[in-house]
Amino acid sequence: MKAKIIDGKAIAATIREEIRQDVARMREAHGRVPGLATVLVGARKDSETYVRMKKKACAEAGIESFGHELPGDISQEDLLAVVKGLNADPAVHGILVQLPLPDHIDDEAILAAISLEKDVDGFHPLNIGRLSMKRRDPLFVPCTPKGCIELLDRSGIEISGRNAVVLGRSNIVGLPVAMLLLHRNATLTVCHSRTADLPAMVRQADILVAAVGRPEMVRGDWIKPGAAVIDVGVNAVDDADDPRGYRLVGDVAFDEAREVAGAITPVPGGVGPMTIAMLLRNTTDAAARALDRG
Ligand code: NAP
Ligand code: LUD
């Protein structure tokens, strides 16, 4: 039997509509709307695309966005000054500094400078620290990991008590998604580039989250029959038949895996749109908290 396709694009559209209604209610009740500052350093094509998509999604939800496009050779000091200016701006409820930053920038110092209340990416060290500890609620959960859990929940996939395998341990996806699965009482395995027998580990997974950045690395015969597969990877591979000269594939060989899995996310149209929806959710939550503080 073929796997159910988890339609991230459709689920994200539903969530964005929920947010649009929350924003409209906020505007009516308080005369205020959420504001997101986007900070883009340099001219990476992928980062430009993602930031453009985020600003467009904000506009559609009624969220104000403030774009800061900065040169790739900006100094650490000047970038810090931009962040501090945004911290002080009452119209800005959330600050997104798109990663990766150029090599000469100390990204940890930049992320740590974002005010905790505006850390809608959830990358501030204190938010990550809280996420990693039992019963310490972070103010914000990172968008991509949060989107993965939301996809499972909205697809009716049980997490508690099941074997979850996460491929990858990056700060932005692998590690935080592992923490979230653990908090939801999955039995957790985290694999990485030194894992001895990756296929054998993956075969244990009732829930597999793949975030390695290797096109179609996970083969169909690695998948446990009936497993839920969340493919975070977004990899461009050359394709002469595509007008752009490339197409996007995940970390999982989709056509093989869908013959075995119980449910699977496609790439594109899986986790990616959820990342953006969760950013809008976090920004709207940040604005609501700012209103509560008065
Ligand atoms: P990353 O920082 O490069 O981390 C990759 C992780 O995968 C590392 O932990 C690495 O292990 C592990 N890894 C690499 N090669 C491996 C192999 N052959 N076998 C086992 N593990 C291996 O990447 P990332 O930022 O987490 O992103 C991962 C993928 O997700 C990329 O394709 C990225 O484009 C995509 N992504 C998508 C979204 C979205 O919204 N859809 C968001 C973020 C990222 P070590 O730790 O041992 O080096
Ligand atoms: N930095 C992210 N860097 C990269 N794909 C994203 C992403 C949308 N500070 C910070 O936004 O959350 C972040 N915060 N990230 N990413 C990756 C990561 C960051 C990746 C994919 C998508 C955001 C997305 O919508 C579409 C899809 O998978 O359907 C395809 C888009 C296309 O190029 O056609």
Give the pair of three-digit tokens for residue 202: 């993956």
Q: Classify 33 in phi/psi space as left (phi over 0), alpha (psi -120 to 50) or beta.
A: beta
Q: What is the pLDDT of residues 122-142, one digit of tens each?
A: 999 999 999 998 878 899 999
Q: State the pLDDT at residue 294.
A: 81
What is the distance in A from the centroid of ligand 1 to the CA of 168? 5
The atom number, within ligand 2, closest to the CA of 268 reads 29
Whether the Cβ atoms of residue 253 and residue 266 lie closer than 8 Å to each other: no
Q: State the pLDDT at residue 124.
A: 95
1 has pLDDT over 90 = no
Q: State the pLDDT at residue 111.
A: 97
Is 36 strand, coil or helix?
strand
Cβ contacts of residue 214 below 8 Å, gap of 6+?
233, 235, 251
Phi first, then psi: give them for residue 174, nearest 5 degrees: -55, -55
Q: Is 134 a catalytic residue?
A: no
211 has pLDDT over 80 = yes
**Which one of the listed residues 7, 22, 55, 98 is annotated catalytic?**
98
Residues with CB under 6 A from ligand 2: 49-50, 53, 96-99, 121, 143-144, 234, 248, 267-269, 272-273, 275-276
State the Cα–Cα distance between residues 95 and 86, nearest whole angstrom.
7
CATH 3.40.640.10 fits 31-115, yes or no: no
Mutate to test the pocket of ligand 1, among 192, 222, 248 (most ligand atoms within 8 A of CB): 192
Whether the Cβ atoms of residue 233 and residue 268 lie closer than 8 Å to each other: no
What is the chain's mean pLDDT, rounded? 97
Minimal CA–CA distance to 3: which of 228, 185, 283, 214?
228
Whether the Cβ atoms of residue 36 and residue 54 lie closer than 8 Å to each other: yes
Percentage, residues of the chain above pLDDT 70: 100
Whether the Cβ atoms of residue 255 and residue 234 lie closer than 8 Å to each other: no
Q: What is the pLDDT of residues 31-88, one digit of tens each?
A: 999 999 999 999 999 999 999 999 999 999 999 999 999 999 999 999 999 999 999 9
Q: State the pLDDT at residue 130.
A: 95
Q: Point out the ligand nearest to the CA of residue 97.
A: 2
State the Cα–Cα distance between residues 33 and 19, nearest whole angstrom.
11
Domain boundaries, the chain: 31-115, 143-273
Q: Is 54 a catalytic residue?
A: yes
**Which one of the listed residues 7, 54, 146, 231 is annotated catalytic?**
54
Q: Point out the ligand nearest to the CA of residue 271.
A: 1
CA dihedral sign of residues 143, 279, 3, 46: negative
The atom number, within ligand 1, closest to the CA of 195 reads 20
Q: Point out the ligand nearest to the CA of residue 151.
A: 1
Give the pair of three-digit tokens for residue 203: 């075969």
Q: Point out the ligand nearest to the CA of residue 53.
A: 2
What is the distance in A from the centroid of ligand 1 to the CA of 216? 13
Mutate to test the pocket of ligand 2, among 212, 274, 275 (most ligand atoms within 8 A of CB): 275
State the Cα–Cα distance between residues 222 and 119, nearest whole angstrom.
37
What is the distance in A from the centroid of ligand 2 to the CA of 232? 10
Q: Is there a shared CATH topology between the 31-115 domain and the 143-273 domain? A: yes
State the Cα–Cα distance between residues 287 and 89, nearest whole angstrom.
13
Q: State the pLDDT at residue 134.
A: 82
Phi first, then psi: give them for residue 113, nearest 5 degrees: -80, -15
Q: State the pLDDT at residue 48.
A: 98
Q: State the pLDDT at residue 245.
A: 96
Q: State the pLDDT at residue 290.
A: 97
Dump the DSSP string for 125-168.
Answer: HHHHHHHTSTT---S---HHHHHHHHHHHHTT---TTSEEEEE-
Is 189 strand, coil or helix?
strand
CA dihedral sign of residues 71, 122, 12, 238: positive
For range 254-275, the mean pLDDT: 98
Residue with tokens 């938010």: 127
Q: State the pLDDT at residue 135.
A: 76
CA dihedral sign of residues 167, 258, 263, 54: positive
Q: State the pLDDT at residue 82.
A: 98
pTM of the model as a whole: 0.98
Give the confidence band of 106 by pLDDT, cuts at 50, 70, 90. Answer: very high
Residues with CB under 6 A from ligand 1: 144, 167-170, 172-174, 191-195, 198, 211-214, 232-235, 271-272, 275
Q: What is the pLDDT of residues 126-182, one digit of tens each?
A: 999 999 988 788 999 999 999 999 999 999 999 999 999 999 999 999 999 999 999
State the Cα–Cα distance between residues 11 and 271, nearest whole angstrom.
10
Q: Is 76 a catalytic residue?
A: no
Q: What class, spelled out in words, does domain 143-273 have in CATH?
A: alpha beta
